[in-house]
Amino acid sequence: MKITDLKLDVVSIPRHTGFVCQHAIVRIMTDEGVTGLGEMSDFSHLPKYSVDVRDLEHTLKLQLVGRDPFDIVAVNRDMGDMFPETMYYYEKGTFIRCGVDIALHDLAGKALGVNISSLLGGRVRDKLKVCYPIFRARTMMEVEANVNVVRARLAQGFDVFRLYAGVNPDADEAFLDAVTREFGSRVTIKSLDFSHLLDWKSALRVTKRLAPYGVQLVESPATRNDFEGLRNFRMAVDLPVSEHVWSFKQQHDMIRYDAVDIFNIALIFIGGFGAARKAASAAEAAGKGVLIGTTQELSLGTAAQAIFGAGLTNLTAISDPTGPELYVNDVAAEPVRYENGYLLVPDASKPGLGIDIDWSKVERLRVDGFSWGDQKTANLQDRTSSV
């Protein structure tokens, strides 16, 4: 079997918040008629530079056409040379590598007639407990809208929430107070996510203020790559501390500094199944837990995240992939399913990812390429519309 072609289809889909995100659906075709599907998820992040989609498609074709799609390790090595780690967790190169890696695994599974779970060694669970994100309140006017989100999502079965915090602590506390008074023990706040916006001392002050509301853990409470600050924060709080993994050098440094309790691993931020499994193994060897992170993928990318999480033996915290619930549309013929706050792993009897694309939806949502227009920095950080 040989790869004969590669195509990138970019779709633009709004979130319920009003922010519009762009994703690339990856198709890798072969001479035996098997096509693998992947997703380069949610390119709408800072930094605001982009890639030319047609140039990227041409570059990937030159790299992949003629190769054996089962040579995934070799392809990933070459992709790492083309799109290297930069120690930045919104690095577009990892998004690109991730989309190709997922498509190759989907292709291999379909060619063999097995689910990707079988390629990765099987499953230890068929569902993942997940949390719904509450986006950062920059003004007090946004508090009630965020409480309304909790009301609506709790009615759908989501009883755990992750709060993006730190820019306006008064608004954060007002939200937590309102949620505690109205919902009590029916709602859990999984984490305060500071998104590297505060230095560790500032994050510590806010955490001490908000922790009494029953927060389970704290995420990204220091500026990017400040491993000493991250450790200082961890030593000063009783709550577990989590941080994203966006490069192996960065993960090595976090282990060396003993700076975290839980590694937040998302396929999109580390470059696909192969890289994510290495990161999870490194975490396990270091005695650390894992949670499955997210950039808020569509159903293709979310299915990949679910399959990855299904095979982990050190998944110790509630995870984050709820992307399909955030968007007003999807390109999947049947989107991934959520029940009672759990993400269901795609049926193990379905080959590859277990997700099919509705190409009529792709045609309706298609755009020429990636563009961010005049959206402000704060909107790109939080992927929310202006208030």
For residue 80, which of 107, 58, 98 has the smallest C-alpha distance?
A: 98
Percent pLDDT > 90 in the chain is: 89
Cβ neighbours for 174, distance < 8 A, ≥ 6 positions apart:
140, 143
Question: What is the arithmetic mean of pLDDT over 98-107?
Answer: 98
pLDDT classification of 278: cutoffs 50, 70, 90: very high
pLDDT classification of 321: cutoffs 50, 70, 90: very high
Told to judge if 338 belongs to the known catalytic residues of this protein, a careful annotator would answer no
- Burial annotation 283-314 (CB, 10 A radius, 16+ → b, else e): beebebbbbbbbbbbbbbbbbbbbbbbbbbeb
Question: What is the arithmetic mean of pLDDT over 201-223?
Answer: 98
pLDDT score of 308: 98
pLDDT score of 385: 64
pLDDT score of 299: 98
pLDDT score of 370: 85
pLDDT score of 380: 67
The catalytically annotated residue of 164, 327, 338, 342 is: 164
Told to judge if 90 belongs to the known catalytic residues of this protein, a careful annotator would answer yes
pTM score, whole prediction: 0.95
- pLDDT tens, 153-181? 999 999 999 999 999 999 999 999 999 99
pLDDT classification of 85: cutoffs 50, 70, 90: confident
Full 3-state SS string of the chain: CCEEEEEEEEEEEEECCCCEEEEEEEEEEECCCCEEEEEECCCCCCCCCCCCHHHHHHHHHHHHCCCCCCCHHHHHHHHHHHCCCCCCCCCHHHHHHHHHHHHHHHHHHHHHCCEHHHHCCCCCCCEEEECEEECCCCCHHHHHHHHHHHHHHHHCCCCEEEEECCCCHHHHHHHHHHHHHHHHHHCEEEEEECCCCCCHHHHHHHHHHHHHHCCCEEECCCCCCCHHHHHHHHHHCCCCEEEECCCHHHHHHHHHHCCCCEEEECHHHHCCHHHHHHHHHHHHHCCCEEEECCCCCCHHHHHHHHHHHHCCCCECCCECCCHHHHECCCCECCCCCEECCEEECCCCCCCECCCCECHHHHHHHECCCCCCCCCCHHHHHHCCCCC
pLDDT classification of 90: cutoffs 50, 70, 90: confident
- pLDDT tens, 45-68? 767 777 899 999 999 999 999 999
pLDDT score of 88: 78
The catalytically annotated residue of 90, 132, 338, 342 is: 90
φ, ψ of residue 24 in degrees (nearest 5): -110, 125
For residue 370, which of 49, 68, 38, 34 has the smallest C-alpha distance?
A: 49
Question: What is the arithmetic mean of pLDDT over 356-376?
Answer: 88
Question: What is the arithmetic mean of pLDDT over 12-21?
Answer: 90
Question: What is the arithmetic mean of pLDDT over 232-258?
Answer: 97
pLDDT classification of 387: cutoffs 50, 70, 90: very low
